[in-house]
Amino acid sequence: MLHTNCEGTTRRDFLKAGALGTAGFTLAGYLRGLEAGEVAATAPAKAAIFVNLNGGPSHMDTFDLKPNAPEDHRGEFKPIETNVAGIQISEHLPNLAKCMDKFVILRGVSHTLAAHDLGTDYVNCGNRPIRSLDFPSYGSVVTKERPGAPDLPPFVSIPNSRQKPGYLGVQYATMNTGATPKFGQPFSVRGIKLNNGVTVSDVEKRQSLLSDLDKTFKGFEANSQLVEGLDRFSQQAYSVITSPRAREAFDISKESPAFAEKFGKRDFGMSCMLACRLVESGVRFVTVTLGGWDTHADCFNVLKSQRLPTLDEGLAGLFNGLAEKGLLETTAVYVTGEFGRTPKVNPRVGRDHYPRAMFMLLAGGGVKGGRVLGASDEKGTGPEGKGFSPDDVAASYYKMLGIPHTLEYQTNTGRPVMVVRDGQPIPELFV
Amino acid sequence: MTWLALAVIAASTGVARADDTPAPTAKTEAEISSIAERFAKEAPETPDFRMHVSPLLGKVGCNGRACHGSFQGRGNFRLSLFGFDFKMDHDNLTKGDNPRVDLESPEESLILQKATLAIPHKGGERFAKDSWQYRVLLKWAQTGADGLSADREQDAVKLQITPSELHFSKTGEQATLKVVAHWQSGRVEDVTALCRFQSNNEQVATLSESLITSAEPGSTHIVVSYDNAVVPVLVVRPVSDKLGDKYPMVATPTRIDELVVNRLKQLGIVPSDVAGDAEFLRRVSLDLAGTLPAPTEVEAFLSDTSSDKRQRKVNELLERPSYAAWWTTKLCDITGNNDQQLNNVGYNRSTQQWYDWIQHRVVENMPYDKLVEGIVLAKSREEGESYADYCKEMSEFMHKGTDTNFSERDGLTYYWARRNYRSANERALGFAYTFLGIRIQCAECHKHPFDQWTQDDYKQFSGFFDPSRIRYGQFPAAKKEADEMLGALGIEPKKSNGGDVRRALQKAVTDGKIIPTEELFVTAAQPERPANKNAKNKGKKPDLRAASAKTAKLLGGEVVKVSALADPRTALMDWLRQKDNPYFARAFVNRVWANYFNVGIVNPTDDMSLANPPSNAPLLDYLAAGFVEHNYDMKWLHREICNSRTYQLSWVPNETNKLDETNFSRAVPRRLPAEIAYDAIYQATCTDEEIASRQTDVSRRAISVAGTQNRGKQGTSGYALTVFGRSVRESNCDCDRSAEASLLQTIYLQNDDEVLRNIERRGGWIDQMAKAAGMTLTGEPDAKQSALAKQKAMAKQEETNKQAAALMQKGKGDVSKLDKATVERQIVVFEKQLAKATEDKNEKRVNRLTTVLESLRTRQSQLAQATDKPAAELAVTEAPKAEAQPEVKPEAPKFDSAKVVRLAYLRTLSRPPTDTEVERSTRFIHEAADPVAGLKGLLWALVNTKEFIINH
């Protein structure tokens, strides 16, 4: 289910990347990217999962409690011990407490964009948004650098996501499942399996005809992201349709009951299980969205009755599920909202937007779990010391995936832009 | 508030000209130099809070979102975000327990000490001690730190920027802008140092304060803001050397063409050539009428040699039902015809009635302002109409088999009934989005630095939408009557749950009963209640009925005394209609333009803000003015655009315009919108007869789906419409409709059951083609026909065998009585038998057979002489095997591949195929298992070409 935040839903706040200039992306460029993928083959993580907590969850009520802060700050929830000595999280996250050893909490992450859209764009690409250029999100960069199996969509969002291809072009856009898997029901994406009676050889003949007839825009790919994107989708669709792998990957009913049990029965848990299954099948990048965190009023009731139990069950399922399948080491998981929430509880018993202090979680990808890095100050109003920026976390996430954050792309006007313009990997993560 | 209007004018011309006359004010004073110069050393003057101090605080970053502009403040000090709440800012600076300004010892003021890091400041150093900024703030504190003076409240500022446009020729070239403010008082001051600057495209121009540096070729705007004025400055850097005399001759037959080419000349961009007839026909049919041209239409258009055929085609398309359907859909997008928001309004008929209401008006080409008036001033009851009559009329629309029609009512009341259009704030946002094409969201909480709207503007504008005066619901005075009607129907709301009541009412109204109906009504202003000083009422509950707003203010316009108006919305409508309304006509014209050119002249089309100026202001002005002059005639606008050479340019780019998508130098390839894509796939696969009927009857097409849910509408797929990004109509944003391509769309086209079924379905085009060739859809000879043929053939064979046997028996067979067909058949039979007998060396039999054959041949030549019929007309019969069971081979299909390929191209790509395409396609058909399978493959491939799904 999608949640509308206090500013309404999707808005397109940026002007499209510049209109005039020279150079551009071509399929040849993409193929060169394939080769670049070989460099990355030595990286710890082969795949990635991004969990977007849409609306901005409060750090004070989840992973960064301040039991000693004044009452109007610390809120109603109490900390509990985890399976790692010395680390405490909210009492409403008991399952996550039991698998604390599998992930890292980053505290004192801080930025300055307190609007949903700007914040969301920021944490989804690791670059502070500017008006004149749309940056590509993680999923688009990862699938460009590490294209993955041709018969699977490389980048899947359950059910959709805010990750945009930006200046890389629509060909690196995600495939939205459009729907959320439901407990106890088979799941499939329409159109990915071959019809009864149609053979692969039929499809091949048709495809060969198609490629011979589809010549009108040949030679103009560089001038139109649409034309170039459609070419790429056409190749992808063909591979996905003709192989049984994709439909197997989406069918969560194939998981054993024993495995499925840990994900609970809620949609978010089912989405996490699907993410797990997709990664196991060879999908490179999966996003899962859990909204409803924009708790301006009555936040404690909302959190303890709905949001936290849902998050706790699904996310613990994801970490444990990946570990059980032996995938945690090779999958980089990143969990974040667009900002934290005000340390001081407002008169409506809610907390408002607060980018100066927030939490993020990282797991897998060769990063040792069971740790807390960074800290916020006594009342959770800002980072203790320098803190981390979303750019730093982005650089770290790319490092987990073997992609140097200094990797440079050219926009369609030939402007060179680094994947992460302003961040550095967090050294402590990688010890 | 003249300066607002002035700022608007500056935006609409795109240029703040140096020779613009300042605001009409008192005597203009001599220009005062920059405050940075004046305070370079100690200065005697007193800085003004609004003119100097507040912009300076913004300039050094104090009121930013991450700092004191945060709604929580920072370090117990809060300023209004981006600063325009002068009173709050002044109070927070000078009052409270810990004022930031120390009047006693000004140099100890926190704003000075913190900003210079004399004492720790989380925000770091903002300026140095003894800098001009420091001196300005110090002097202000020393002179009493006055706030906004009452007589300055109406101050008006106009910005004059030099140079008024920037023309660069190479990377790294620089220019410095100078900004001079003209206040209404006559004061003229250089405020460059206090302005904010922003580049709308850093790839074209970068900046550091007022110093602008050229980056890449192209054009953009530098946006300058100060106080409440926002002025864009055009930056141009040509993309080629085709400038001045070197610019080629380009025809400009219409005013649109002149205005577009004027701009292209500045940029050194040469437009593409004019598109061919087939390309034009396809494009204009899709854009104007949401429909692929019919194959016969393509043929007719291509063979038409008259010079005005394009113009005639535009006129013809404007009269089609599909034109009305598509533009009704677009109007439903921007007005927000959404099922979820109308849940339980009008018993699930409201979205259809909404659609029909608009369509009715588009068909009759009602002037746009009149159409909008029917929405803006909608009321449920006519003057003097009773509640009972109203309920009767509304109920009758929903009776089964009714012949009354909602669209004949004056007002589209449902616009006001949506759940997300109930509060004054929501209505202000939605109204601004729909009818003005502007976004005022930000101003709900703060003034945006690069937009003109303040919180006060927003709040005052909301005053027109007071939900206590403009209400949709049960009219209070008719409550009793409504209850009685329910009682008469045997429905007891108090005893059953809401769902049951709704179902009972739904059933009653379908069955022809009259049911109580909610309505849109407007009440008089609620007067302010005098404070209750009566002692005996003390301690009682306070009166919660708030007084209605007395006044409301039009955006950038006048203050209106709404309490004196019977319907506050009349003031809104009058304002929309004012000739100088800067938004109403422009917003519509711009959205229509974007439909034809992929992007608006202002883009995004719902963001007509000062900071987002038009890419070609004279063009937008011309179209908007023309639209108003032609009495808001929507068809005039479509004609004007479609008949321009600019619209008819080819998509094939040249060296100068290959990267241009915003100056209209060529057609930009774009994906078909969801509804049009769905209908196009269907049309590509249905019979010619159905194509023709779908041109006149649009009821089963996706372009006539009313709301946001399909409600099981025949022949349209909710899934496909979702995948291709049909507008969700829920968030006051034109981006609710998506034009992006996606993998899922390609998977749909290549492999979704729905598409494959359309191609292969019984009753579709391929079925029709197969039947004509005597085949079934699976490529076999038509089963029924072949069974019959088989029976006939067997009977015939039997007879032939008998006759043959008789002929062999001497005397028994008489060739002279045989008819022509039989003779021919027997000749075949005996030739075969003769061949076999010869092989077997059965001499006796050979002789006998030869004799019979000879007599048959003699008879044959006799018959041929006797009739005039040419031999070719003689039916050719199969050669039956004499002894074995007869076997019927399928007839060779009457399948003219080249002709069928041509038809397939016409119905998908709306053009005839090239020779190469014919060759490749026929080869595919011939190599296929059977011709029908081949044709299926071809149609599949054509539907999956980029040329099909792209409007180009």
The predicted-structure confidence for A269-316, as pLDDT tens digits, reads as follows 999 999 999 999 999 999 999 999 999 889 999 999 999 999 999 999
pLDDT of residue B556: 83
Q: Answer yes or no: is pLDDT of A41 > 70.
A: no
Higher pLDDT, B27 or B43: B43
Average pLDDT estimate for A86-99: 97
* Global pTM value: 0.77
- Residue-by-residue DSSP string for B839-880: HHT-HHHHHHHHHHHHHHHHHHHHHHHH----GGGSPPPP--
Q: Does B941 touch chain A (CB under 8 A)?
A: yes
Q: Answer yes or no: is pLDDT of A9 > 50.
A: no
Higher pLDDT, B494 or A399: A399
**Structural domains in chain A, sorted by start:** 27-193+244-430 (3.40.720)
| Closest Cα in chain A, distance from residue B916 (Å) | 9
Average pLDDT estimate for B98-116: 91
Q: Is the CB of B66 less than 8 angstroms away from the CB of A112?
A: yes
Q: Answer yes or no: is pLDDT of A18 > 60.
A: no
pLDDT of residue B534: 55
| Helix axes of B688-696 and B295-303: crossing angle, nearest 10 degrees | 90
The predicted-structure confidence for B795-825, as pLDDT tens digits, reads as follows 877 887 887 787 777 655 677 777 877 888 8
> Do residues B256 and B228 touch, judged by C-beta distance below 8 A?
no
Closest in A10, A18, A231 to B735, CB measured: A10
pLDDT of residue A139: 96
Q: Answer yes or no: is pLDDT of A94 > 90.
A: yes
SS3 content of chain B, % helix, strand, coil (to 5): 50, 10, 45
Q: What is the DSSP letter of B294?
A: P
Q: Answer yes or no: is pLDDT of B481 > 50.
A: yes
- Conformational region of residue B210, where left means phi above 0, alpha means psi within -120 to 50, and beta covers everything else: alpha
- Quick one: how far is CA A8 from the chain centroid? 21
Q: Which residue has the tokens 């044709």?
A: B935
| Closest Cα in chain A, distance from residue B928 (Å) | 9
Least confident of A372-381, B145-154, B824-833: B145-154
> Do residues A160 and A289 touch, judged by C-beta distance below 8 A?
yes
Q: Does B445 touch chain A (CB under 8 A)?
A: no
Higher pLDDT, A10 or B756: B756
> Do residues B257 and B251 touch, judged by C-beta distance below 8 A?
yes
| Closest Cα in chain A, distance from residue B623 (Å) | 24
Amino acid B179 reads: V
Least confident of A69-78, A373-382, B688-697, B872-881: B872-881
Higher pLDDT, A308 or B78: A308
Interface predicted TM-score (ipTM): 0.77
pLDDT of residue B546: 55
> By CA distance, what is A206's nearest residue in B?
B937
Q: Which of B487, B518, B484 is nearest to B504 (CA)?
A: B487
Across chain A, mean pLDDT equals 86
Compute the half-sphere exposure of residue B583: CA atoms within 13 Å on the CB side of its CA: 25
Least confident of B601-610, B758-767, B792-801: B792-801
Give CA–CA dist B856/B822, Å, rounded: 10
B770, two tokens: 């197969």
Give CA–CA dist A222/A224, Å, rounded: 6
Q: Answer yes or no: is pLDDT of A38 > 50.
A: no
Q: Output the CA angle B917-B920-B925, nearest 5 degrees.
A: 120
- In percent, how much of chain B has pLDDT > 70? 89
Q: Which residue has the tokens 């509308």?
A: A4
Q: Which of B290, B289, B293 is nearest to B907 (CA)?
A: B293
Q: Which residues of A68-95 are buried (b: 16+ CB within 10 A; e: fewer)?
A: ebeeebbbebebeebebeebbbbbbbbb
> Do residues B601 and B661 touch, judged by C-beta distance below 8 A?
no
The predicted-structure confidence for A336-359, as pLDDT tens digits, reads as follows 999 999 999 988 899 999 999 999
Q: Answer yes or no: is pLDDT of B723 > 70.
A: yes
Give CA–CA dist A241/B34, Å, rounded: 68
Q: Which of B46, B25, B44 is nearest to B181 (CA)?
A: B25
| Closest Cα in chain B, distance from residue A264 (Å) | 29
Q: Which of B296, B298, B305 is nearest to B281 (CA)?
A: B298
Q: Answer yes or no: is pLDDT of B710 > 80.
A: no
Q: Which of A62, A91, A73 is nearest to A378 (CA)?
A: A73
pLDDT of residue A221: 86
> Do residues B174 and B154 touch, judged by C-beta distance below 8 A?
no
Q: Does B216 touch chain A (CB under 8 A)?
A: yes
Enumerate the residues of chain B whose CB falls inside 8 A of the CB of residue A195: 751, 753, 756
> Do residues A246 and A152 touch, judged by C-beta distance below 8 A?
yes
Residues 379-398 of B with CB under 8 A from A: none
Give CA–CA dist B743/B600, Å, rounded: 27
SS3 B531: coil
Residue of B743, B901, B908 to mutate for A, most A C-beta atoms under 10 A:
B743
Higher pLDDT, B80 or B300: B300
Average pLDDT estimate for B195-215: 91
Q: Is the CB of B944 less than 8 angstroms away from the CB of A229?
A: no
> By CA distance, what is B236's nearest residue in A?
A20
Closest in A178, A202, A214 to B945, CB measured: A214
Backbone φ, ψ for residue A344 (5° rounding): -90, 130
Q: How many CB atoms lie within 10 A of CB B77?
A: 18
Residue of A12, A210, A213, A247 to mutate for B, most B C-beta atoms under 10 A:
A213
The predicted-structure confidence for A129-149, as pLDDT tens digits, reads as follows 876 678 999 999 999 998 888
Taken in order B123, B128, B130, B135, the sign of the CA dihedral is negative
Q: Output the CA angle B785-B790-B791, nearest 5 degrees.
A: 105
Q: What is the DSSP letter of B517?
A: -
Higher pLDDT, A51 or B183: A51
Q: Is residue B618 very low, low, confident or very high in pLDDT (cuts 50, 70, 90)? A: very high
> Do residues B656 and B268 touch, judged by C-beta distance below 8 A?
yes
pLDDT of residue A99: 97
| Closest Cα in chain B, distance from residue A4 (Å) | 10
The predicted-structure confidence for B142-154, as pLDDT tens digits, reads as follows 999 988 776 555 5
A19, two tokens: 């209109």
Amino acid B414 reads: Y
Cα distance between the two ends of chain B: 46
Closest in A12, A214, A413 to B946, CB measured: A214
B830, two tokens: 């005996």
> Do residues B905 and B911 touch, judged by C-beta distance below 8 A?
yes
pLDDT of residue B203: 83
> Do residues B569 and B376 touch, judged by C-beta distance below 8 A?
yes
Q: What is the dihedral of CA B832, B836, B842, B846, to 10 degrees?
A: 20
pLDDT of residue B68: 86
> Do residues B461 and B557 touch, judged by C-beta distance below 8 A?
no
Least confident of A23-27, A170-174, A271-275, A423-427: A23-27
Q: What is the DSSP letter of A101?
A: G
Q: Answer yes or no: is pLDDT of B847 > 60.
A: yes
Q: Which residue has the tokens 């072009």?
A: A169
| Closest Cα in chain A, distance from residue B301 (Å) | 21
Q: Is the CB of A21 less than 8 angstroms away from the CB of B217?
A: yes
> Do residues A133 and A121 touch, judged by C-beta distance below 8 A?
no
Least confident of B164-178, B262-276, B551-565: B551-565
Average pLDDT estimate for A406-410: 89
- Quick one: how far is CA B652 from the chain centroid? 24
Least confident of B448-452, B770-774, B787-791, B921-925: B787-791
Closest in B200, B668, B719 to A15, CB measured: B200
Give the count of Cβ contacts less than 8 A between chain A and B. Answer: 204
**What's the 3-state SS for B790-847?**
HHHHHHHHHHHHHHHHHHHCCCCCCHHHCCHHHHHHHHHHHHHHHHHHHHHCCHHHHH
Average pLDDT estimate for B351-380: 97
User: H or E element: which one contains B237?
Assistant: strand B229-237
- Please report, for chain B, how many H helices and E strands are present, in that order: 35, 17
Give CA–CA dist B798/B791, Å, rounded: 11
> By CA distance, what is A202's nearest residue in B?
B937
> By CA distance, what is A232's nearest residue in B?
B743
Q: Answer yes or no: is pLDDT of B917 > 80.
A: yes
pLDDT of residue B155: 61
Q: Answer yes or no: is pLDDT of B284 > 60.
A: yes
> By CA distance, what is A353's nearest residue in B?
B71
Q: Answer yes or no: is pLDDT of B172 > 60.
A: yes
Q: Answer yes or no: is pLDDT of B760 > 50.
A: yes
Higher pLDDT, B359 or B796: B359
Q: Which residues of B836-846 are buried (b: 16+ CB within 10 A; e: fewer)?
A: ebeeeeeeebb
Q: What is the DSSP letter of B729?
A: -
Q: What are the DSSP E strand ranges found in B758-910?
A: none
Q: Is the CB of A227 less than 8 angstroms away from the CB of B669?
A: yes
